Amino acid sequence: MRALLQRISRASVTVDGAVIGQSGPGLMILVCAMQGDGDLEADQLAKKIAKLRIFKDDAGKMNRSILDIEGSALVISQFTLAADTSRGNRPGFSGAAAAAEGERLYEEFVRKLSAQGVPVETGAFGADMAVELVNDGPVTIWMES
């Protein structure tokens, strides 16, 4: 699985004019299941993110996790993280998991992250979403399981 993490002061996701998820302070996490991914990758990614020390401690150093700061997460499905831009000018997305499996693994990741003790809100899989965020730092981190 691939994820793009952004440390946030706040974030929200809107579908059809209604806010369906919000978070902050904490993380906005864009997630994409890749072909060949399974429950193990969702579990590993959730555990790593929950313990990742990217929040400031009292000395201003990135030494605290989302759990340490009692933060929350907004998790958004994002198949475009599978973009292959190696040929031509139009990205290809054939490396992404099929839609049904991608949705299942997205939901599994959300369950696993929540089970780690992180309060999680989500977007809507496959929907046209408007995402707003205030990136704190900015801190943006790319991860793969």
Listed residue (27, 7, 19, 10) closest to 120, CA to CA: 27
Helix 99-115 and helix 39-51, axial crossing angle in degrees, nearest 10 = 40
HSE-up (13 A, CA, CB side) for residue 124: 11
Distances in Å between the alpha carbon of 60 and those of 26, 70, 88, 137, 144? 16, 17, 43, 11, 27
- Chain position carrying tokens 């900015």: 138
Residues labelled as active-site residues: 78-80
